[in-house]
Every structure is written in C-alpha cells, then in structure tokens.
Structure 1
C-alpha cells in the first residue's frame, strides 16, 4: 500500500461518523480512500445532513506524535495485520502499536476477569498465564486491575499483548503505568485511539472486541453476572471463537458470571492443558489472507428516491437487523446498505452490535 493511500485511509477512519462498517463500505465502493473522502459530503447530503472529513494537518500531527512515542500504525489491508482480528466483525481499520508485532501472529489466548478479583483467582490467573506462555501461547488481556493485571504479569516473560482503551501514551489505571511500560517494551501494546485520548467508558466495550478478536479463545477467570468480561466472552462466542470459564464457589458473587457461562455451554477450564485442548489450532482454510478488499457489505452507486423512502420508513428508534430491512423492503442488499450508509454519514443512523441499526 502506498504511503499516500495509507495516510488517506487513516484520515478516513478519523473522520466524524466513520466507523469500521462505513469505512469498509466506502473503500469497497470507491476503491481508494481519496475517492471516498471526496464522496462523503455528497453521500451525507443524500441522507439529509452534512458531513466533514478529518483535517489533514490533524492527522499529520497524530502520526508525528505516535512516532515520537515509538509507536507504529498497522492498517487493515497491511500484510501483517492480525489475521484473526481481520475476521472479526467491526475490526478496527487502524491500530497503533508499541512492541513486538510478531506476537499477534502467534497462537493467542485472551484472559479476562474481575477487577476486584479474589486473591485465589488472581493467583490462578497468574499461574495459568505463565503455564500458557511456557507452552508457546501468547496471553492477551486489557491491562485492567485484578485478573488482567495478573494475566500480564504471568506472561510477561513468554509473550503478552495488552489492549488499552486510551491513547498509547495514557496509562490506566494509573497504578499499572509501570506494567504497561513493560508490556510495550517486552510484549505488545495495542490501541485504536490516537495519542492523548482518555479512557472513556464507551471505549472499553470497543477495546474488548479487539481482545476477543486477536485470540483463538477467551478464558474468563472470575466475573460478576454483568461484568465487562462477559461482554468479551459474548463477542468471542458470536465470532465462533472458543469461550472458556473457570468455575467458582456459588457463594461468591464474583464467580456467578463464570458459572453461568459454563451452564450456557462454555468449556470448563482447570489448567493450561484444558485451554490448549479447547482451542486446538486454526485450520488455515478458515483464514482469508489479504481479505480486506473483499470484505464489506455491497453498496450501490445510485438509489432511487422511492427506494430511499422505503428503507427509511422501516427504521425507528428501536434497533432492527439489517437482514430484516432487506426482507421487508424487497430491495437488494446493495441498495439498503447504501441508504444506511448515507443516513449514518448524515448523523441520522446508529449502528449496534449484531448487525442492527436504528434511527438516532
């Protein structure tokens, strides 16, 4: 990929209202990021609104800041973009990384759990991560308090990947500043956010999809019923990855999430051998190499006014599956996806997990 195209693709994903889905659709339709950037204002106007694109100077400044921090960019479409993450719905078009990028191409296991984890669970997570590392696996986690922290500590010698919900220069929680620096120096630190971005609450579910996407399977060590760790497990399961859980005492609320996962079909885990047996090895026939140019819902070059009205008439504040819009409207997927793209760029559409959309 030429440097100019790389710059334009970064500018595209940094533009307002452009997410992973719209990013792929725009590139699939227009071929290059430059053409997509030029088309955005017109597409938004068709959707009944206005849209701007990211300032080139701001993107140049971001790149300079990242390089000064010793970080590099990895864009979807690059040959070393993590293959497993590339298969994940909503995978980030641009990653910023510090450390050994080769770790992401090895056998990765995600490990997540409670921030207020028990001492026993912390010890188990640290030992499990160490054992997995000794068996050649790379442990992926989120550098949060509790289980995440112990997972990184246990695997720092063998290979660990930390995925954060902030800029590459921001340490959160603050007490993990030294650990985050060690991960960047001896493992791999990953984010999708530009330098300076603070760890806002809405960034953590997005961070969780990267954790799940990088790994063959996700192990939940300890989790309450409504914890963020279960979001990671759900995302892994929806993507066809293995979901594993460590059972705990029914008297401990922090174990209820894991016990519930096992009841729902997650694999019960007691040691590293259980984990590696569960994930096995990925069949190379299941992996799309260089798949980016062929991913993304189809979009149309033109939509009639009555077609646009038919799609919009089916939308409301309650989210609906895109497949249902296609069925009810009787229109082609390309036409429906184009109308949704126009609405999104105009600020009138919200995309939600599971291929669902609603009006803002």
Structure 2
C-alpha cells in the first residue's frame, strides 16, 4: 500500500473517512484493514455490503450516507471542533502506533497539546480529600516539568489532576461527545481545558457517555501517554482497566500506595504487588520519564502498513469453520490461525468479513470473540 498523506486531508477525503468509521460494524481495526485492502475509504465504502454478505450478515449493512457525514462535519465546524485524521501530522504520535487507534479524533481546543509528551493521572471518583490534594500537586509538578497531563475529566482524582495543571496544558479524554460536559459540575473546567489544552473523543458529537464507552476512553488515555499514574482505585475500579491497557500498550504504570484499611487504596496496592512502580512524589515519575522532559515527541511520517492486492474471498465453509472455533471467550488470532490450519491472510480476510457481518467482535491484545447477538454500538 502506498504511504498515506503526511498533510491534512482534503474535504472530500475527510468526508469519506468519516463515512467509513461511522458505518455499521466498522471499528478502528476494521477501518485500518479496509484501508489496507482497498487503498481508499471510497473504495472500502463500495465494498462494505458485499463483504458483510460474505460474512453471513442477515440484512444489508448500514453504510453512513454522504448527507449524514456532511451534517456531522457542519456541526463540528459550528462547535469549533476539529476532526483530526490518523495520518495527519497533528495526530498524537504515541496513539497512532496502537492497532486500534481511532481513525478520527474530535478535538476541542488546541491540537498542538496532543503532540507533546504526556503523563496520565487517573483514579477514584469518590476520592478522599488527601487523594485529591495529592493528585492536584502531582499534576502541577509534572506539568511544570514540561509534560502534558491527560485524564478523563471524571469526578474526584481526574478533576483534581486537570485543575492542578491549569493554566498549563492538559488533555481531557471523554467517553461521550466533546460537546457534552460530564459530569455537569465540570462545565467551567471543560471551558478552561479548551483554553489551556484540549478536550478529545472518538465518540460523535451530541452522544452522552454510556457505560460501554468508558473502557474505550480509558485505552485512549493510556495510549496518549508515556506512563499512567493511578492515585486511588478500588479493586474493581475502571482506573485498573486504564492500568491494564497501559501495560498492554507498553507504557509505564505507576501507583500511589495507601492504607490497607481504605478500599480506595486496594487497587493501587494490588498494582504495586503486580509490578507497578510505587510513587510517593512527582520526582519519582519524572525520574523514570526524564529522558522525555521538555522534549516534543518526534512525529514520524505517518504510514499505513503495505498490504497486498485484495485477496480472493474465502469459502463459506471457511467462514463457518472459523466461527465454530470461536466462543464468547476472546481467543488470540494467532491461536485461531493454529487451530484452523488456514493461512494467516485467509484468517484475517475471513475475520474482517465476519466482523462486518456483526458475528464477531474485537478485544484488546489481538483477540476475537464470537457474538451471539449483534452489537448495540459499532464504536
């Protein structure tokens, strides 16, 4: 495949990118595979119905229309939102490396903050007063050292971390549209972050945060950053999902220890036992990440992997055999290749068809699982 643009997309091409990622059952990984196979979003859009049919779709796949995409672009411009595409120079360089990097990011504020070295700070919503104070001071010192702090603008630790950075840049990653202030009491913070940093999301404008969106939001926080600090977290906290994503993405994981009598410390203490770096001050984080201090990350020319010409479609039997090998428990794609005995290219082509048909879903770590009913949300 030819190297993709290292410059802003044209209006027509941006519209095609938006149409493709907003089409039914097209997530970030499928988007990238479609672009590798068909070279352009326009060609991929034409191929979607036939691919989904080969995968066993029971009805015609919903392809985002030109009119719907134009309406979203117009609403974005009106709201002052920039839709930043993965191959464009301003796209966050560390995030671009992820296999499930969002093809388009909605950015409200200053997009240059996304190109600076970042540290994530997340934690409990029902944080203690000491936890909030520690997070705010930690964020202040890290931002003063030249890093941008990224968090989720949630109550508690996230809010404290963002406030600690002001008036220096901070990045808020939202689980809803960038125009939706959540929680509502952070309206002023949302405004301040647009002026000193950026508010970003892969979710369309106007969409209220929903439970299924938060894990996807969490993987963006960790993906943006060189490392993630967990300040307070219970054992079943969403912050531990962020820590897991960070470890899978090869990021540093830091955790602040706490009293064994406080449930809000149990998650952090567990992370430390599992190998996370114990943190008692900002200097410890800065020491580990010091080589990036006050450096802007080099932005390599964006590329998408070379791919061969579209492969011959697999047989219906191959699709059924692969689907039969899968269950609701996620399985590594490499293991699926081994069990099926099929060539790697044939497995990837079949999985693409099955995912577009809504019969399987992707999981982090290059794993797939069988779907026994269609997903409610292609995001």
TM-score normalised over the length of structure 1: 0.95
The 8 Å contact of residues 170 and 198 in structure 1, kept in 2 or not, is answered as yes
2:37 alignment partner in structure 1 = 29
2:258 alignment partner in structure 1 = 248
The 8 Å contact of residues 297 and 337 in structure 1, kept in 2 or not, is answered as no
RMSD between aligned residues: 2.0
Whole-angstrom distance in 2 between the partners of 1:169 and 1:27 = 29
Match of 1:15 among 15, 23, 37: 23
Match of 1:54 among 48, 60, 64: 64
Whole-angstrom distance in 1 between the partners of 2:123 and 2:309 = 38
Whole-angstrom distance in 2 between the partners of 1:125 and 1:298 = 51
The 8 Å contact of residues 297 and 334 in structure 1, kept in 2 or not, is answered as no
TM-score normalised over the length of structure 2: 0.90
Whole-angstrom distance in 1 between the partners of 2:159 and 2:306 = 35
Aligned to 1:22, what secondary structure does the other structure show? helix
Whole-angstrom distance in 2 between the partners of 1:200 and 1:306 = 37
**Higher mean C-alpha displacement, 86-95 vs 22-31:** 86-95
Moved over 6 A (4+): 295-299
Question: CA-to-partner distance for each residue in 1:315-349, whole Å, 9 max, x for gaps?
Answer: 23332111111111121211101111111111111
Match of 1:331 among 335, 342, 350: 342
**Higher mean C-alpha displacement, 300-309 vs 6-15:** 300-309
Aligned to 2:369, what secondary structure does the other structure show? strand
Whole-angstrom distance in 1 between the partners of 2:309 and 2:350 = 11
Question: CA-to-partner distance for each residue in 1:8-60, whole Å, 9 max, x for gaps?
Answer: 01110000100011000000000000000000000011111131210211111
Aligned to 1:281, what secondary structure does the other structure show? helix
Contiguous gaps of at least 5 residues in structure 1: none
1:203 alignment partner in structure 2 = 213
Count of aligned pairs between the two proteins? 359
The 8 Å contact of residues 73 and 97 in structure 1, kept in 2 or not, is answered as yes
1:314 alignment partner in structure 2 = 325
C-alpha distance 296-15 of structure 1, shift in aligned 2 (>3 A) = farther
Matches within 5 A, 1:1-360: 1-49=9-57, 50-281=60-291, 289-294=300-305, 300-360=311-371
Aligned to 1:171, what secondary structure does the other structure show? coil
Contiguous gaps of at least 5 residues in structure 2: 1-8, 372-379
Displacement of 1:87: 1.3
Displacement of 1:213: 0.6
Whole-angstrom distance in 2 between the partners of 1:64 and 1:143 = 26
Aligned to 1:109, what secondary structure does the other structure show? strand
Question: CA-to-partner distance for each residue in 1:231-276, whole Å, 9 max, x for gaps?
Answer: 0011001111000011111111100111111111100111121111
